[in-house]
């Protein structure tokens, strides 16, 4: 049976991302006592993995096992050391009661502890939008929030900027505070930890520093990559880390990369970062971006039609912070212009932010664009030629230069073969008059203006 | 001999009221809200070409906050965000997080859109998390209005043909126009002559052969 499971493992490893395989599949063990010819019994190291496998992977494992065996086979999964549960519909996220250890030592301090917790109250699980991109991280964080210190320690969350790492770890902190108001929780950015170390160094107060950090129940530390090259900080953190983990106090760390890939961090720290569970937050996919926008709008007491949310989600793909910024711009624009919210209004509001080019428009650029448009040479614009086919485009280019740059009229004249500023003025007036009379010329002007603005 | 000038009136401070908005009405409205009653954690970012009025607005809001006694540690006004060096970006990043946590507000200005601003990515996305406004340059008519307004603040009589002259002979960005206007004002006071076209030609020549 063991060998058979190894074949299945090899196939799963091929089809799953390494991160998922390591986190969920590798910890599974075959239970040789219960397994039979027709049934493969697996054990999971904890309820979290158990639930995850049941929800996502069980049917796939069953299919694979069937293919390996050449006939259908039942696959069941149970907690290691527990009787297998009957095949029941998947239970919702499992809540475990507080462990006896915690109830044996009730914390008596009043809620004053949170004055130093640095937690932002709005960052909760309730308003954290779930999706494929953050499912793992969210589930792990909820598990840790329910059982701080005993499930995954440390929890290491990594991903790009603006994807919700900070929100997530605040949510853990807020949840723990609500369950155990006396808990000593502290959120801080790695940079703050570094300055704390510097201060302790200057004031020779390392004892107080150590006493404080080693006494925490939950330490949430953001952007650990800031520790790069900071040896003294890393050393202090190493001690704090060991003390907290040993006392079964929870540590949650965020970082912009996978622990192995952080540069300038002591090996022994990197190793420790992967002791618990390492989970990634990926950039949100479109449906999730829509959900985020709708949720943020709700938080801002605004309601927006779903197609507007789709419009924003389609155009802003990078990260949650920029989505939020775009949404706020759309709401502000609609309010300012007293317009009913619509895709058109959103497009108008985000016009500047979304336009492809945002370069400063140069006179060379104007001349080149105009020459191409009228199929003449740039040199013709500089020349003394006064035929209509050359003179009109030249006037057009001058008028555009006045409109789109802040150059002085003498400078513009100079750029067109050393002409006088009165020539420029005359050109601008001529074009202004013609635009009211000649629709085709007016259209040319608009097309050119739009081309130049990008 | 040149007459020495006593600075009778201090240079008018940039305020939101003396900003000629032109096409930037939405930005101005948002900044008024930011100056008077900022929402906790509000972020506004302004961008646009040199001379579009970024510094004017950043100073105006900072001054409004100062007058209302808002703590500068939590109400950050940052001009030229694209020029911050590494250390300054780090300091701003920390200050930003602290200001937000304390329910303060942040106003920043830079030379490019939030998504192209060349600062640390974590700082950039934070600056991009709020309202962003491109400041558009004023039209010639609006520039004339702005010049008239500044001349009024200086107690200076400014004939229309002089405005037309300035707009057809000088670089037309507001800092240049305002600087030249103020120089002409001083020149006319020193020379004890009214502001006329001949005086302007003379003044511009005196100003290093024309300020164009």
CA distance A215 to A240: 9
DSSP 8-state secondary structure symbol assigned to residue A261? G
Split chain A (454 residues) into runs of 10 and give each run's mean pLDDT.
Answer: 79 76 78 82 74 76 81 81 46 32 33 61 90 92 93 93 92 95 92 91 92 94 94 94 94 94 92 92 92 92 93 90 93 92 92 71 92 94 91 95 90 93 94 94 93 81
- Which structural domains are found in chain B, ordered by start? 22-134 (3.40.50.300), 138-205 (1.10.8.60)
DSSP string, B58-96: HHHHHHHHHHTT--TTTEEEES-GGG--HHHHHHHHHHH
DSSP assignment of A70-120, as one string? TS--EEEEEETTSPPPPS-PPP-S---PPPHHHHHS-----GGGGGGT---
| Sequence-separated (6 or more) residues with CB below 8 Å from residue B106 | B42, B43, B44, B75, B76, B78, B96, B99, B100, B127, B130
Q: Is B209 left (phi over 0), alpha (psi -120 to 50) or beta?
A: left
Residues A318, A195: Cα–Cα separation, whole Å: 31
pLDDT of residue B143: 93
Residue A185 sits at φ, ψ, to 5 deg, of -110, 140
Whole-number pLDDT of residue B13: 82
DSSP for B131-151 reads EEEEPPPPPHHHHHHHHHHHH
Instruction: For residue B182, give Cα distances in angstroms to B16, B32, B204.
Output: 20, 27, 12
Q: What is the mean pLDDT of chain B?
A: 88
Residue B10 has what pLDDT?
Answer: 53
B30 contacts in chain A (CB < 8 Å) = 332, 336
* Cβ-defined contact of B113 to A352 (cutoff 8 Å): yes
Nearest to A353 by CA among B120, B62, B26, B95: B26
| Three-class secondary structure of residue B107 per DSSP | strand
pLDDT of B2: 52
Residue A173 CB contacts under 8 Å (≥ 6 apart), including other chains? A117, A119, A185, A187, A218, A220
> Which residues pair with residue A75 across a beta bridge?
A40
* Close Cβ partners of A275 (under 8 Å, ≥ 6 residues apart): A153, A154, A245
Residue B117 contacts A, CB cutoff 8 Å: no
Contact A221, A251 (CB under 8 A): yes
Residue B173: closest CA among B78, B53, B89, B38: B53
Contact A155, A280 (CB under 8 A): no
Residues in contact with A80: Cβ distance below 8 Å, sequence separation at least 6, in sequence order: A29, A43, A44, A45
Query: Residues of B with CB below 8 A from A408's CB?
Result: 168-172, 212
What pLDDT is recorded for position A291? 93
CB contact under 8 Å between A337 and B26, yes or no, is yes
| Residues contacting A420, CB < 8 A, separation 6+ | A410, A413
Q: Evaluate whether B160 touches B180 at the Cβ level (below 8 Å).
A: no
Interface of A with B in 316-335 (CB under 8 A): 318-319, 321-322, 324-325, 328-329, 332-333
Q: pTM of the full predicted structure?
A: 0.71
A-chain residues near B115 (CB < 8 A): 318, 322, 353
For A441, how many CA atoms within 13 A lie in the half-sphere containing its CB? Answer: 17
Radius of gyration of chain A (CA): 32
The total of other beta-carbon atoms located within 10 Å of residue A126's CB is 10
> Is ipTM > 0.95 here?
no
CB A162 within 8 A of CB A282: no
Note the pLDDT of residue B5.
Answer: 52
**CA-angle at A158, arms to A154 and A163, nearest 5°:** 130
Chain B residues in contact with A318 (beta carbon < 8 A): 115, 125
Flag if A329 and B115 touch (Cβ within 8 Å): no
Query: In sequence order, what are the residues at sequence separation of 6 or more whose Cβ sits closer than 8 angstroms to the Cβ of residue A205?
Result: A199
Question: Looking at per-residue confidence, does A26 or B35 come out higher?
Answer: B35
B121 near A CB under 8 A: yes
Tokens 């008024």 sit at which residue? B32
Task: Kindly compute the dihedral angle of the four CA atoms of residues A132, A137, A138, A143, in this order, to the nearest 10 degrees.
Answer: 140
In Å, how far from its chain's centre is CA A279?
A: 13
């Amino acid at each position: 049976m063991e060998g058979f499971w190894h074949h299945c493992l090899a196939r799963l490893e091929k089809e799953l991302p390494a991160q998922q395989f390591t986190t969920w599949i590798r910890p599974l063990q075959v239970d040789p006592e219960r397994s039979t010819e027709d049934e493969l019994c697996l054990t999971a190291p904890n309820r979290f993995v158990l639930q995850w496998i049941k929800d996502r992977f069980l049917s796939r494992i069953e299919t694979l096992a069937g293919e390996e065996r050449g006939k259908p086979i039942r696959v069941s999964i149970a907690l290691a050391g527990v009787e297998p549960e009957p095949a029941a519909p998947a239970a919702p996220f499992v809540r475990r009661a507080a462990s006896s250890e915690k109830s044996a030592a009730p914390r008596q301090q009043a809620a004053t502890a949170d004055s130093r917790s640095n937690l932002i109250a709005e960052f909760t699980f309730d308003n954290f939008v779930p999706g494929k991109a953050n499912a793992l991280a969210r589930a792990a964080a909820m598990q840790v929030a329910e059982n701080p210190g005993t499930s995954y320690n440390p929890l290491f969350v990594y991903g790009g900027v603006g994807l919700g790492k900070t929100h997530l770890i605040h949510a853990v902190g807020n949840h723990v505070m609500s369950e155990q108001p006396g808990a000593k929780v502290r959120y801080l950015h790695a940079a703050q930890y570094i300055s704390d170390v510097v201060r302790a160094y200057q004031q020779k107060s390392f004892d107080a520093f150590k006493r404080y950090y080693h006494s925490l129940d939950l330490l949430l530390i953001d952007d650990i990559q800031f520790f790069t090259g900071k040896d003294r900080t890393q050393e202090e953190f190493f001690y704090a880390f060991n003390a907290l983990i040993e006392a079964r106090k929870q540590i949650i760390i965020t970082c912009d990369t996978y622990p192995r890939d952080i540069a300038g961090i002591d090996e022994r720290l990197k190793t420790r970062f992967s002791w618990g569970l390492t989970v990634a937050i990926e950039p949100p996919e479109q449906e999730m971006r829509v959900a985020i926008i709708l949720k943020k709008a709700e938080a801002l007491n605004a309601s927006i039609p779903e197609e507007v949310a789709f419009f924003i989600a389609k155009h802003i793909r990078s990260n949650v912070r920029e989505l939020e910024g775009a949404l706020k711009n759309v709401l502000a624009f609609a309010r300012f212009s007293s317009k009913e919210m619509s895709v058109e209004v959103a497009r108008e509001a985000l016009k500047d932010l979304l336009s492809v080019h945002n370069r400063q428009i140069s006179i060379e650029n104007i001349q080149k664009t105009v020459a191409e448009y009228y199929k003449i040479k740039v040199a013709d614009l500089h020349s003394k030629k006064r035929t209509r086919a050359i003179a009109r485009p030249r006037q057009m280019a001058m008028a555009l230069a006045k409109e789109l740059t802040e150059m002085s009229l003498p400078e513009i004249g100079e750029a067109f073969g050393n002409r006088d500023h009165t020539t420029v003025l005359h050109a601008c007036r001529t074009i202004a008059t013609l635009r009211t009379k000649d629709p085709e010329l007016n259209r040319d002007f608009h097309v050119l203006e739009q081309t130049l603005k990008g | 001999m040149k007459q020495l000038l006593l600075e009778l009136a201090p240079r008018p401070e940039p305020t939101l009221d003396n900003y000629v908005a032109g096409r930037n009405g939405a930005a101005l409205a948002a900044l008024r809200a930011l100056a008077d009653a900022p929402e906790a954690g509000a972020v506004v970012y302004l961008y646009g070409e040199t001379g579009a009025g970024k510094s004017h607005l950043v100073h105006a809001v900072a001054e409004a906050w100062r007058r209302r006694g808002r703590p500068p540690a939590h109400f950050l006004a940052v001009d030229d965000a694209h020029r911050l060096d590494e250390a300054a970006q780090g300091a701003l990043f920390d200050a930003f997080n602290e200001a937000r946590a304390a329910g303060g507000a942040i106003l920043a200005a830079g030379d490019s859109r939030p998504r192209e601003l060349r600062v640390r990515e974590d700082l950039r996305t934070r600056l991009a998390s709020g309202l962003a406004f491109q400041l558009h340059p004023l039209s010639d008519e609006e520039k004339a209005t702005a010049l008239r307004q500044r001349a009024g603040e200086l107690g200076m009589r400014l004939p229309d043909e002089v405005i037309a002259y300035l707009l057809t002979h000088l670089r037309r960005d507001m800092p240049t126009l305002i600087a030249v206007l103020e120089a002409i004002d001083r020149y006319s006071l020193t020379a004890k002559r009214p502001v006329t076209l001949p005086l302007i030609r003379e003044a511009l020549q005196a100003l290093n052969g024309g300020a164009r």
